[in-house]
Structure formats: C-alpha cells, structure tokens
Copies of this chain bind each other. A is one copy, B any other.
Amino acid sequence: MIDAVKAYIAAQRLIEPGDKVIAAVSGGPDSMALLHILRDLSQESGFNIVAAHINHKLRPQAEQEQQFVEESCRYLQIACYSKTIDVRELARQNKTSLEDAGRQARYAFFNELLQQLQADAIATAHHQDDQAETVLLHLLRGTGIQGLRGIMPRNRDLIRPLLQQSKQNLLAYLQENQISFCLDQSNQDQTFLRNRIRHQLIPLLQNDYNPQITENLSRLAEIVRAENEFLQQIMLNYWTQLVCSQDEQGLEMDLEGFKALPLAARRRLTIMALSAVGGPAGWEARDVEKVLDLLPKPGSAKILQLKKGIMINKSYDRIIFTSNWQKADVFNIEVTIPGEVVLPDGSRYRFMLTDCNHINTDAGDVYLDYDKLSLPLVLRSRHQGDVIQPVGFAGHKKLKKYFNEQRIPFRERDRVAVLASQSGEIYALPGLCVCSPAAVDQQSQHILLIKRAADENNGYNLKSR
C-alpha cells in the first residue's frame, strides 16, 4: 500500500523531496489513512508534512472531531492548523448551498495556509471509489473527454496521492496499523446525485454487472487523463499557428487552416477559443457543433450568438470569436478646419492649423502638410478598394492588406477613421499612420494638426492595443 502510493506520487510527480505538504484531514477514515501514509513517506522520501482541519460546526460531533484530529497530530508530531467556520451562517450570508459554502471556506483556508506556510501543495484523501463515482457522475450528466478524466491527481496546488487506492484497501490499512478514525459522516457533504451513485448505482453495478467496476472506471479515468494531456499539448501548437489576433474582447482564427484540421482538433480549438473569450466553464458539445456548423456556409453575414454574450462570425479568411460585438456604424463626415469631428463610437478628432515650430512628435498627435491636401477633407470609415501609401512603405498598398499586416481585428476595421479627400486620396489613418501624399517634409510651411481623444465609455482606443 505504502509502496503503491509512493510509486504513484513519483509517477505523477505530486511531491518532490524538500516539499512542504498540507494534508487536509477531516478525521474520517480516508483522511486519517492519508495522514499516516504521508507521515511514513515523508520520513522516507524527505518531504515535510503539516495537517489542516476545518470545523464546519454543522454536526454535534464537530468539536470532538477537531479534538481528535489535533490529538492525532500531536501524537504523530505533525503540526496541525485548525479553523472553525460557521458554514451555515456563511451559506445564509452568501445565499448559497451548505455544500458550496463549505467548499469555498475550505479552499479559502487552504490557500491562506499555503501562503502563510510557504507550502507546496495540499493533499486530499480522494481515492479510487471517489474517482469511480466522479466518472459515473460526469457520464450520467453528459460529458466529453474532459469529464471522463474525473478527479485529477494534481490540480494546481491540490494533489491526490491516494487516487488509485480503493476504499477497501484504505480501511484494511487502518485496521492493520490500528489507526483510529471518526465515523465517516462525509456523505452529508455530498450532493444528492453523488450519494445515489455511491449507495445505489455502484453497488448495483458491482453486484449485477462487474465486481471490478470501480477499478475499471478508475483506470479509464487515468487513461483519459493522459490522452487529454497529450492532445492539449498538440492543440497548443495549432492554437499558436491559427490564432491571428487576440485581445480582451475576442480573437480571430485563420479560417482555412481551421477547416483543414481533423474534426477532433476543430472541436478542441473551438472549445479553447470559447474558453479564451468567455471563460472556461460551461461550454458544451452543442455549442461546439453550432460553431462548426457555421463554417461551411457561404457568406459572412450571419453572427452566431452563444451564451455568456459570445458571438462568432466568419469574415473573409477569419473566424472571429468576440464578447463585444458592435457592428460599427458607417460614417462619412466632412471636416472643417479648425473644427472637431465626433465619430459614432464616441472618439473625437480636433483639427487645427499650426506651423512647423510647434510639431511635437511624442504626443501621438498627427501632423500633415496642409498645402498638400486637396480640400475639403472627410473623416470616414473604410471603403472597399481603399488604397494607401503609409510613410515608410514603398508604393501603394490595399487598405485590407495593411490591416492584415498590422493585425487589426476584423471587428474593429469599420471603426478605424480614414482621413481622405473627396476624390478618395487617403492622407492618414489618425492613430495608425500618416500617408506619403500628406507627409510633413523640409518644405512644409502650414501644418494640419489632428488631436484624437477616445471617449472613455465607448471608444476603442487603438493605441491601447
């Protein structure tokens, strides 16, 4: 038993020599086995161990349990950190279930201890039977690959050294070593469904279908865990190759590259994109299928709306995932000099004349050679076929190509202000670039200064990217 746990800890790299590990101990059989096994291994493998106990004040026995854990630790010469939390009161305050309140309190305390003790990990006593229950729970609720992994041997700071030990083995270990424990009342912490799985479904499956069901589900979880990890490594490469731009509001992916991938890779990339834009939790197979269904359809007008306010659209050669879709209003405003233009997104442009002595290139303002401009000017959104000559580039360039090179997200391109003559010659994209026909040079005498200020509430400040 000890050897098996030791091998598992090594294989999964749960604890390194010199680590400080906090064992979460309720006083029940599982966690008492954990405490003793880790104590034995800590001497052998050279890591340190302390115990942490939470008194939830939910049951009359809670005080006794706390005392029992503290005394056990004294006997084992392990430092024990206890905390009393009125979970019922906490649940009332936060308007959540006892279960949620308890879990939150528990992990808050654990994190506090991690910081305070400069510890490396918190070990919990989850075992093979918990694992089998979790796999069944996910399977019954409906899951893809991720859910079948069940409980992970490591999840950030949390480690589960007993995950491949059966409850039966743990009980035998306790008996052999004459280790006492509190009566197992942990079922009360469990959800109703998990309780039914533990007390009805698993015994039924064991008796009527396969006595090895627990081991089988646990082995499946481990296989799936490793496969998933392998796939995620592979997917990170695709992610790097295919995500063309990403910011807080969304991301864009190369459509052709995406389409060329195998179905499973497309599904995983979609989940990754939805998670990156809308947070990791709650995405389901049906969301993924909706995204995949969008792609083969011709045209780019349709915007797919998913939960959490996420929108997906196909635009030219990109798939766009965004949490802040604003179909930009087209604008075309004649500029008076001096004067001010306010665009639909709230950004403001002030136009004024100055001379060469007042050019301050650090301010982010735009300076153009006024004498080179063909008046009147318009500040407008892009037109199809727009061509520009940005200073420093040789020759003409399609505006679309320039946007691609500058990685301007598609969803922002209609909001970029284009300063042009009535006949269509483009002088500047204020905030992005000045174009050669309007550039200030040694001969310039009269200067047009454009000052830009984004509306804080609404405007998208291109400079902030």
Contact = CB atoms under 8 A, between A and B. Distances in A.
A175 B231 CA distance: 45
Given A224-B145, A230-B264, A263-B226, A196 B210 contact: no
B233 A262 contact: yes
The interface centre, meaning the residue of A139, A140, A212, A226 with most chain B CB atoms within 10 A of its CB, is: A139
A412 to B, nearest CB: 34
A143 interface: yes
Interface string A187-227: 00000010011001100110011101101110110011011
Interface residues of A, number: 41
Interface string A221-249: 00110111111011000000000000000
A400 B353 CA distance: 84
Contacts of A223: 144-145, 264, 267, 285
A262 B140 contact: no
A216 B138 CA distance: 10
Contact of A193 (B145, B209, B216, B220): B209
Which interface residue of A142, A201, A208 has the most chain B CB atoms within 10 A?
A142
A41 interface: no
Contacts of A465: none
B267 A226 contact: yes
Contact of A142 (B144, B208, B219, B226): B219
Contacts of A208: 196, 200
A95 interface: no
A418 to B, nearest CB: 43
A264 B226 contact: yes
A327 interface: no
A350 to B, nearest CB: 55
A463 interface: no
A358 interface: no
B230 A265 contact: yes
A156 interface: no
A59 interface: no
Interface in A127-144: 139-144
Contacts of A201: 209
Contacts of A219: 142, 144, 285
A216 B144 CA distance: 9
Nearest to A289: B219
Nearest to A210: B140
A142 B210 contact: yes
A229 B264 contact: yes
Contact of A196 (B209, B226, B228): B209
Interface in A275-309: 285
A145 B145 CA distance: 9
A219 B284 CA distance: 11
B227 A264 contact: yes
Interface string A342-358: 00000000000000000
Given A148-B220, A219-B285, 4 more contacts: A196-B209, A200-B208, A227-B231, A227-B264
